[in-house]
A and B are shown apart, each in its own frame.
Chain A
Amino acid sequence: QQPVQSPQAVILREGEDAVINCSSSKALYSVHWYRQKHGEAPVFLMILLKGGEQKGHEKISASFNEKKQQSSLYLTASQLSYSGTYFCGISNSNSGYALNFGKGTSLLVTP
């Protein structure tokens, strides 16, 4: 089932912080975060696994709340380059089923 992302869109000034949430109606096994700039392909940011394991870019921060079936992506001290659409993709099983992506959160960072 498709995860729900919130907010749908956010506008920040450079240097401000933002949090993007991703919620699932089923128990989560893993959450993936990608960023897509306009007209480009999605780019991998991070994977968070049930049990606490993470892999991804060091400058990206995210959390995985198993009980709430939710993940949050933290964007701190935002830069202009952070602008884009952020997608979370979830896996509800460790048996390798494909990811279901949310509809995305559009982030615009202004000078």
Chain B
Amino acid sequence: DSGVTQTPKHLITATGQRVTLRCSPRSGDLSVYWYQQSLDQGLQFLIQYYNGEERAKGNILERFSAQQFPDLHSELNLSSLELGDSALYFCASSPEGDSSYNEQFFGPGTRLTVL
């Protein structure tokens, strides 16, 4: 158990819908990262927040957005869902903002299925 929690574990929805994925980092960690994992693409970095502020952005679609709240939990919002958005979404946390030197602790993931 990494100490990172994600809810829900599974999510099944229809195309065009909007969903929210939630992540609570390990106690004391200030950085939260979101990743998308599909079969053929491996781990794709989406976005990082550090202490409430956006720190780095990856290949995140405009239909996706995220935020980190004062209690440091984070939410990833996915809207106008398409079949191709079906994937496993991981959240990870680390103590500091510099991802080049800090190990990341991954949550169990949320499996999103878009029908």
Contact = CB atoms under 8 A, between A and B. Distances in A.
Given A96-B56, A103-B41, A41 B108 contact: yes
Interface residues of B, number: 27
Interface residues on A, range: 20 to 34
Contacts of B99: 91, 96-99
Interface string A73-111: 000000000000001010101111111111110000000
A40 B37 CA distance: 12
B56 A97 contact: yes
Contacts, number: 70
B101 A98 contact: no
Nearest to B48: A98
B56 A98 contact: yes
Interface string A28-46: 0110101000001111100
B2 interface: yes
A44 to B, nearest CB: 4
Nearest to A89: B43
B107 A41 contact: yes
A110 B92 CA distance: 31
Contacts of A30: 100-101
| Residue from B2, B42, B97, B108 whose CB has the most chain A CB atoms within 10 Å | B42
Interface of B: 2, 33, 35, 40-45, 48, 55-56, 58, 90, 92, 97-101, 103-109
